[in-house]
Amino acid sequence: MPVCAGRPAAPFGDPSPQTCLQVAGEAALLAIIAADDAMAAVCRSRSGSTVRLEAAMHEAHREASEAARHADRAEQYADDPAMPASALVYCARKAVDHAVRAQAAAGVETTAASLRAELDRVLTPTEQAERESARRREEAQHEAEQRAATGMDRENRERAASNRYLAEHHVAALGWTTGHLRVMEAAATGRLYWRDRRARIAAQHGDWTGGRRVSQERTQALYAARFLVTTARTTNGARVLAPSLMGRVALELARLHQAALHPTDQAAYEARLVWARRRHRRRDDQKAAARRLPDLDPSARKLYRHPVTLAEQQARAEREATDRWEGEGGYCPAVEMPRPVATPTPTPAPPVPTSARTSQQQAVQATLW
């Protein structure tokens, strides 16, 4: 059975997952054969040793069942990418141990003991290199499949998984309804504004005179809880609303775990009232606290990290490359590129005649002496 990619690599001293599965399966088969032999011995027995043979048969069947159970568990671990390879090694060794006991109880040759040598065999440098190459190929294939499925690299996939965990533990404490989420989504578009005591979504950005109405109560509650802030004031008295830093984080978490949102405003109020009762307040203070939206937990704000897709990374890299090119001056077709100055080639001196060279040498020798 092929082992799923993405499994943590086994140390070089441990057998490969394929070896563990093969050894575990062979051990379980030998244990079952030994248990069958023990049962056949009981059936053939005609003497008073039947009691001893039956005890051996039951013992062999127990050990065979344990060997088969560890072999099945090894198969399950092989299908789980998060399971380390050491778990497969443990199951294979336990299956061999139970197979040896089953054969010993049945009174047959303990051939299962030879399987331990396969688990304890030291890999050669060539086998180690082949295993490392296979592991890298599996990891690269698994990473390519995950990138194609999610559009994110490993770091951002882990960041997205962490955000989902935060959403499962903090969205319910917000006390939001689906309507609160819709108001925050409208604010994220940059077209939510407040004018004449009403909240509206502008038909287009910059036109603050009409548009679709939005819940006034939910908008006021989100603004009072600082999930919404005023980003601009227009000449006709409208205030443009947008999510605050805490509001953006709460919006992303609520999108990730919408199952924790309450179906109605009454259900959300009752949930906030239950939360307020835990603070040991007076009845009136509890009701007043339940009417307000609580803040997002500070730990969620600190731990949340927005995942970046591969497409966003590529677009950002292209923008940065363009900005860097323009910042360094870019290409100017009107300016010619400087050329290196040509160095003149020295003219070789004319050859000196042989007679002249002899006269010069004689003159130098005379000077030295």
Q: In this predicted model, what pLDDT tens digit does every residue of 229-257 receive, in sequence order?
A: 999 998 888 999 999 999 999 999 999 99
pTM confidence score: 0.58
Give the bridge partners for 201, in sequence order.
Answer: 192, 212
Q: Please indicate whether residue 50 or residue 368 has the higher confidence score (pLDDT).
A: 50
Q: How many helices (H) and strands (E) does the chain have?
A: 14, 5
> Nearest 5°: CA angle at 354, between 348 and 359?
110
Return the structure tokens found at 261. 């949102």
Give the bridge partners for 262, in sequence order.
Answer: 177
Q: Give residue-wise pLDDT tens across range 81-120.
A: 788 878 999 999 999 999 999 999 999 999 999 999 888 8
pLDDT band at 358 (very low <50, low <70, confident <90, very high): low
Return the structure tokens found at 83. 């399971």
The residue type at 348:
P
Integer angstrom CA distances of residue 337 from 59, 97, 322, 332: 91, 79, 21, 10
pLDDT band at 330 (very low <50, low <70, confident <90, very high): low
CA-based nearest residue to 252, from 315, 194, 191, 296: 296
List the beta strands (DSSP E) in the chain. 192-195, 198-201, 212-214, 228-233, 239-243
* 90 sits in which H/E element: helix 85-106
Does the pLDDT of residue 51 top 60, yes or no?
yes
Mean pLDDT (the chain) is 84
Return the structure tokens found at 77. 């671990």
Q: Give residue-wise pLDDT tens across range 294-305.
A: 999 999 999 999
* 69 sits in which H/E element: helix 50-78
Does the pLDDT of residue 10 top 60, yes or no?
no
Is residue 279 classed exposed, middle or buried when 0-12, 13-18 and 19+ CB atoms within 10 A define those classes?
Answer: exposed
pLDDT band at 361 (very low <50, low <70, confident <90, very high): low
If DSSP codes are grouped into helix, strand and coil, which group holds residue 6? coil
- The neighbour count for residue 3, using CB atoms within 10 Å, is 21
Query: For 54, which DSSP code?
Result: H
Overall average pLDDT of the 141-158 stretch: 90
First-to-last alpha carbon distance for the chain, in angstroms, is 97
Q: Give residue-wise pLDDT tens across range 257-303.
A: 999 999 999 999 998 888 887 766 688 888 888 889 999 999 999 99
Percentage of the residues of the chain whose pLDDT score is greater than 70: 83
Does the pLDDT of residue 366 top 50, yes or no?
no
Is residue 254 classed exposed, middle or buried when 0-12, 13-18 and 19+ CB atoms within 10 A define those classes?
Answer: buried
Confidence at residue 245, expressed as pLDDT on a 0 to 100 scale: 94
Return the structure tokens found at 277. 């009762």
Give CA–CA dist 208/217, Å, rounded. 20
Return the structure tokens found at 311. 């497409």
